[in-house]
Amino acid sequence: MQTSIVVRELCPTSTRQWLKTGAILLDIREAEATEALQFAEGNIMYMPLSQLMERYTEIPVETDVIVACERGVLSLDAAAFLQQNGFDRIYHMRKGLRHWVAKGYPVTGDTGDLPVSHHQCCGGHEHHHA
């Protein structure tokens, strides 16, 4: 029987606060996406999801790491993978870059392809990942 993984999540507002205190934002979007639009705040580490399984040992284990993608779906899976591989300071940014942009937080590049929607941002939540 497989045990479920509890993935802790942060909204973009909490993510910004954590980045100011030394957390790393791990952007797992593929190169084409990151070249078009980037997060423009904090310590950003780029590692495409397609390379994560081969390169995850490059991620510091002693630092809080917040995994982000475009919509917050793939980052949840990636965070669960990292937790299964011994990372205990891993978080996932809920709703991803789309929500970051919707909140008006800093980016560089073209946001024209992202539909902007305004949702409330709240505190941390947990997701169970089987």
> Are 93 and 10 a contacting pair, CB within 8 Å?
yes
pLDDT at 36: 93
At 64-120, the pLDDT tens digits run 999 999 999 999 999 999 999 999 999 999 999 999 999 999 999 988 876 554 444
Q: Rounded to whole angstroms, how far apart are CA atoms 115 and 100? A: 12
| Prediction pTM value | 0.85
- Every domain of the chain and the residues it spans: 5-122
Number of neighbouring beta carbons within 10 Å of residue 120: 7
Q: What does the pLDDT read at residue 121?
A: 42
Contacts of 102 (CB under 8 A, 6+ apart): 116, 117, 118, 119
| Residue located via tokens 């510091």 | 60
- Binned at pLDDT 50, 70 and 90, residue 5 comes out as confident
Instruction: Summarize pLDDT for 19-74 with one digit per residue, the tens.
Output: 999 999 999 999 999 999 999 999 999 999 999 999 999 999 999 999 999 999 99
* CA dihedral sign of residues 78, 48, 64, 87: positive
Q: Which of 30, 115, 42, 122 has the alpha carbon at shortest distance from 78? A: 30
CATH topology of domain 5-122: Oxidized Rhodanese; domain 1 (3.40.250)
